[in-house]
Amino acid sequence: MALIHKVLVVGGGVGGMCVAIQLRRQGIAVDLIEQHPNWAPDGAGITISGPTLRALREIGVVDEVLRVGGHWSAADICDSQGRLQLTVPVMPALEADGLPGAAGILRPVLADILGRTVREAGATVRLGLSFETMTQDEDGVDVRFTDGSAGRYDLVIGADGVNSAVRRWVKPDFPGPRFTGQGSWRAVVPRLRENSTIYMGATTKAGVNPISATHCYLFVLDRREGMDFIPPAEWPERLAELLEEFGGQIGEIRDGLRAGTLHDARLLYRPLAGHMVDGPWHRGRIVLLGDTVHATTPHLASGAGIAIEGALVLAEELGRRHSLEGALLAYAGRHYDRARLVVSASGRLGQIEQSGGSREEHTAVMRDAMEKLRAPLR
Ligand SMILES: Cc1cc2nc3c(=O)[nH]c(=O)nc-3n(C[C@H](O)[C@H](O)[C@H](O)COP(=O)(O)OP(=O)(O)OC[C@H]3O[C@@H](n4cnc5c(N)ncnc54)[C@H](O)[C@@H]3O)c2cc1C
């Protein structure tokens, strides 16, 4: 007999959507609520690492992601003037036959692909909706929603991101994410090169990753004192200042930002925060997924990847265990170390960048983490 028949997923990010798809494939009824009325995440690009592509293949969407996105199997390292110094292969994940080393896509495009798959799988999706209260007993969780409606579920999955509201029901004492000392800048620009490319300045590193046949996204991290608000009207000039030392292609982007000639650049600034929440990741019949328990900085481009992997592991354990408690413990037990690897290695990379530390250590930490993540999920 199935452990659970009816699940509520709170949050329609990558983690929530993927777990909804996998649970529907087991015949479990799924309601998914998403607070945004139009289900549209910010417009920036996202990198999909080799292991993430492997996980998306299991979800059933990798072909479409590769068809509409960009992908690459090598990274070019250039100097600040855009002169090629070195090309390094980007190895595909193990047991990912035929998939490239990595891919990129616009977040709203990925959300659209996954959102359609959620609906086709038969989940009930309610947008512009959150919850007010949850009360659980031995047999279920009663949820009251913000529109006054109510439902009872065998399991609630909190996939509501780094500032999760569901987390209060599982980890009431958790203080919340920590600012990591860096801010992230993103812009969508015409595709400059075939490969992923990093431009090494003396103080700043800028990168571009393809997100389609015609476009790529620019990513730059800078050092910041706090989570200060920067008005969006200032973003073009602030980003241009960060790119001051660059010539070549990045210099042209900077000049375009200043001249206002970069159209539909979808500029985005975010202060970076992260955390790794200790297990267990559930209390009774409420369980946490994705950024709610392991929010990372983007240094390894693997945060979405571990949210998707967590969704695969959670659904698999729910499908094969004989007790709900056993399934939820097994989920966190299997997934914790991979998630912690991403959060802690990404954090270390950020520290090295902020302290102007060793480039050799930076490369070693990145290589070691990527190599471990290539190993298949077991
Ligand atoms: C600047 C930056 C760049 C990044 N780049 C990459 C990258 O290149 N590659 C990569 O793999 N990862 C990247 N990440 C990490 C990645 O974005 C996250 O790890 C990933 O989105 C986590 O997915 P999630 O589903 O757990 O949470 P989210 O994507 O945050 O989704 C949570 C969802 O829940 C909804 N929600 C919130 N509260 C409620 C509520 N109360 N009720 C209903 N709905 C609610 C939100 O609207 C949202 O849709 C990056 C992160 C940052 C900050």
3-class secondary structure per residue, 162-184? CCCCCHHHHCCCCCCCEEEEEEE
What's the token pair of residue 218? 């620019």
- Cis check for the bond before 177: say yes or no (omega within 30 of 0): no
Residue 195 covered by a domain: no
pLDDT at residue 11 in the model = 98
What is the position in ligand 1's atom list of the atom closest to the CA of 14?
Answer: 25
C-alpha separations of 222 from 235, 254, 328 in Å: 13, 15, 38
Residue 162 CA to ligand 1 center (angstroms) comes to: 7
For the chain, what is the domain count? 1
What is the position in ligand 1's atom list of the atom closest to the CA of 49?
Answer: 11
User: Does 314 contact ligand 1 (Cβ within 6 A)?
Assistant: no
Three-point CA angle 317, 323, 324, nearest 5°: 65
Residue 157 CA to ligand 1 center (angstroms) comes to: 15
Residue 291 CA to ligand 1 center (angstroms) comes to: 6
Lowest mean pLDDT across 9-13, 37-41, 298-302, 355-359: 37-41
Residue 290 covered by a domain: yes
**pLDDT bucket at 1, cuts 50 / 70 / 90:** low
Distance (Å, rounded) from C-alpha 12 to C-alpha 115? 8
What is the position in ligand 1's atom list of the atom closest to the CA of 17?
Answer: 25
User: Does 207 contact ligand 1 (Cβ within 6 A)?
Assistant: no
Residue 40 covered by a domain: yes
Distance (Å, rounded) from C-alpha 173 to C-alpha 193? 47
Residue 59 covered by a domain: no
Distance (Å, rounded) from C-alpha 254 to C-alpha 37? 34
| Ligand 1 atom 15, closest CA | 303
What's the token pair of residue 197? 């490319």
Whole domain around residue 28: which residue ranges?
6-44+107-176+274-374
* pTM as predicted: 0.97
Residue 128 covered by a domain: yes
| pLDDT tens digits, one per residue of 221-257 | 998 888 888 999 999 999 999 999 999 999 999 999 9
Q: 74-79 and 196-200: which strand pairing?
A: parallel
- 97: which DSSP letter? T
Residue 202 covered by a domain: no
User: Does 14 contact ligand 1 (Cβ within 6 A)?
Assistant: yes
Can you tell me which residue has the tokens 């909706």?
A: 129
User: Does 342 contact ligand 1 (Cβ within 6 A)?
Assistant: no
- The identity of residue 184, as a single letter, is S
Residue 41 CA to ligand 1 center (angstroms) comes to: 8
pLDDT at residue 42 in the model = 78
pLDDT at residue 161 in the model = 97
C-alpha separations of 291 from 144, 250, 256 in Å: 23, 31, 34
Q: How many helices (H) and strands (E) does the chain have?
A: 10, 20
User: Does 159 contact ligand 1 (Cβ within 6 A)?
Assistant: yes
Q: Does the pLDDT of residue 3 top 70, yes or no?
A: yes
Residues 293-299 have a mean pLDDT of: 97
What is the chain's mean pLDDT, rounded? 95
pLDDT at residue 80 in the model = 96
User: Does 297 contact ligand 1 (Cβ within 6 A)?
Assistant: no
| Ligand 1 atom 51, closest CA | 298
C-alpha separations of 363 from 13, 175, 204 in Å: 30, 32, 16
User: Does 28 contact ligand 1 (Cβ within 6 A)?
Assistant: no
Residue 183 covered by a domain: no
Give the domain CATH number at 142: 3.50.50.60
Residue 92 covered by a domain: no
Q: Does the pLDDT of residue 76 top 70, yes or no?
A: yes
